[in-house]
Amino acid sequence: MTWPNPARVLIATTDPARAQALRAWLERLELRVASEQVADMDALTTALARSRWDLLLCCHDADSPLAPNRVLNLFRGTSDGVALLLEQEAELTLLAEGLRAGAHDVLLPGEDDRLLPVLRREFERLELARAGQQQARQLQVQAERIGELERALQARPPVPQRESLAVPDSKPAAPAAPQSRDADASAPEILQLLADHIHDNTLVLLFQPTVCLRGDEREHYEVYLRMPGRDGHLLAPDAFMHLAEQAGMGGRIDRWVVLHALRRLASHREQRPDACLTINLTHAAYTDPRFLPWLKLALQAAHFPKEAVILQIAEPLAAQEQERAAIFTRALSQLNCMVSLSHFGTSEDPFRTLNALHIDYVKLAGQFVLEHIQNDAGRLALQSLLRQLQSDGFRTVVPMVSDVSILARLFQAGATHVQGNYFAEPGREMDYEFYTRVGLV
C-alpha cells in the first residue's frame, strides 16, 4: 500500500485515552499519519472546514455531545473519506443506524483485533478509488485529445474515394442490441460503484420463497444480493462479486448482507413469527477469522430462534477450502443459526465435502437438477440422491422449478423443499402466499 502524503485521520471522541489508543493502532499501519482529536460538534465542524480528511474514527461514547448520526452525516456531507464507527454495545439497531448514517464499517466491543485489518482495507479501498479517479481523468484528457484530432480531420478537404469492389450485402445488417452501460465498465469503476452502494446502503436484497411440499407451513425465503448499475438495472453477483473478493471486499459484503437481512427478517417476523431466512455467504466468511465473532454478536442482538436463520455456503468453494469450511461450519453449529450447503452435486466427490462439514440443509445445484429431471434414468438417480440425503438427516432443497410438470416430477422423486420461478421470482418483498395450495398434476 502506497500513500504519497500523510494520511489525515480525524478521531471523534471525548476520551483522550481512547484517542491515544487509536493513534497506537494507526502507527501499526506503517503509513505516515497525521491525526487530530475532536471532542464536540463545534471542533468537528471547524476541523472539517479547515482540512480534507481521509478517515474518520467515530467513537460512540456514553453521554457524549458527539452523536454518531450527526457526526457521520456531517462527515459524509463534507468529505469523500472513509468513516468507521466504534460502538460500545452489540445492538442490532445501533449497527444498522451506524451503517445507514454512512459508516463504512462498524466495530463492536471486543473487536479490537479487527481494527487493524479494517484500517488497512479502507485505506486500500481509498487508494483504489483515487487511482480509478485518476484513470478517469486520464481517459477524459485522451477523449478530449481524440475529439480535437477528429475535428481537425473533418476540417480537411475530402479525399476522392475509389469505387468499392466489395459485393454489397443482400440485406442491411441488423442493429446491434442495446448494451448495458456496465458491460464495458473497468474493474476500478465496478469496485467504486460497489463501495458507493455499500456506503449509501443502496444495495438491494431480493427474496425468493422456498416451499415445503410435505406439510411444513413455516414461511421460508432465500435472500439474494443485487447491485444497481449505472443505468439503474440490477446486477447479479456474477458481475461484481469476483472482483470484490479479489479486492478484499467479500467480508464487508457479508456483513452488509447479514445485517440488513436480519433487520428485514426481524420486521417480517412481527407479522409472521415463524418465518425463516437463508442468507448466502461468500468465500471470505470462512477465511476471515474476524467474521465469526462479529456474526455471533449480530445473532445475539437479533434474538432469533435457531431455526430462523440459515447461513449458506457453496459446496464447490467449500471443497477447495475443506478444512477451513469444516472449522467454520462447526463454529456456526454452536451459534444460534442453522447451516446450508448449496450447489450440491457439482464437485467430483460432493459427499466427501458434505460429510466433513456440519450441515443442516443441502440445496442441490440447479444444473444437476436440470440434467437429471428430463428422463427416467436421471429421475431415478435424483430420487436415490434425495433419499440418501434425507436418510442421513439433511433437509433438502431442490431449485429450478419453472413449471408444474417439473414440480410434479420432483414431488414423485421425494423432494421436500423446492424453489423456483414457478412459485415466484426473487422480489424485494417477502410477500409470497405460502398458505395457498400448491398445484400438482
The SS3 of residue 226 is: strand
Burial class (CB in 10 A: 0-12, 13-18, 19+), 74: middle
**How do the domains of the chain map onto residue ranges?**
7-124, 198-418
- Residues of the chain with pLDDT > 70, as a percent, come to 82
With CA atoms as reference, report the closest residue to 74 among 41, 109, 38.
41
- Across residues 25-43, what is the average pLDDT? 87
- Across residues 94-116, what is the average pLDDT? 75
Would strands 220-228 and 361-364 be described as parallel, antiparallel, or unpaired?
Answer: unpaired
The SS3 of residue 166 is: coil
CATH class for the domain made up of 7-124: alpha beta
Residues 6+ apart with CB under 8 A from 259: 92, 95, 96, 99, 298
More confident call, 297 vs 364: 364
More confident call, 141 vs 60: 60
pLDDT digits (tens, 9 = 90+) for 226-237: 999 988 899 999
- Across residues 233-258, what is the average pLDDT? 91
pLDDT at 162: 33
CATH class for the domain made up of 198-418: alpha beta
Residue 45 identity: T
The SS3 of residue 270 is: coil
Largest CA distance in the chain: 84
Do domains 7-124 and 198-418 share one topology? The answer is no
pLDDT digits (tens, 9 = 90+) for 262-287: 999 999 999 999 999 999 999 899 88
C-alpha cell belonging to residue 4: 504519497
Average pLDDT in the chain: 82
- Across residues 232-249, what is the average pLDDT? 90
pLDDT at 2: 55
pLDDT digits (tens, 9 = 90+) for 107-137: 877 777 778 888 888 877 776 665 554 444 4
Q: Around Cβ 411, how many Cβ atoms within 10 Å?
A: 17
Dist CA 290 CA 108 (whole Å): 11
3-state helix, strand, coil in the chain (%, to 5): 45, 15, 35
More confident call, 10 vs 140: 10
pLDDT at 269: 94
pLDDT at 236: 93
With CA atoms as reference, report the closest residue to 253 among 331, 195, 190.
195
Beta bridge mates, 439: none
Backbone phi, psi, residue 247, to 5°: -85, 5
Beta bridge mates, 224: 206
Q: Contacts for 43-52 with beta carbons within 8 Å, 24 or more apart?
A: 44/10, 44/12, 44/71, 44/74, 44/75, 45/74, 47/10, 48/10, 48/74, 48/75, 48/78, 48/79, 49/78, 51/8, 52/8, 52/79, 52/81
pLDDT at 39 over 80: yes
pLDDT at 170: 35
Of the pLDDT bands very low, low, confident and very high (cuts 50, 70, 90), residue 53 is: confident
Q: What stretch of H or E contains 149?
A: helix 112-155
Burial class (CB in 10 A: 0-12, 13-18, 19+), 307: middle
With CA atoms as reference, report the closest residue to 342 among 306, 367, 309, 316.
316
195-229 burial code (b ≥16 CB/10 A, e <16): bebbeeeebebbbbbbbbbeeeeebbbbbbbbbbb
C-alpha cell belonging to residue 154: 473533418
pLDDT at 149 over 50: no
pLDDT digits (tens, 9 = 90+) for 335-377: 989 999 999 998 888 999 999 999 999 999 999 999 998 889 9
- Across residues 311-330, what is the average pLDDT? 93
More confident call, 187 vs 335: 335
| Candidate ranges 38-47, 144-153, 343-352, 420-429; pick with highest mean pLDDT | 420-429
pLDDT at 388: 94
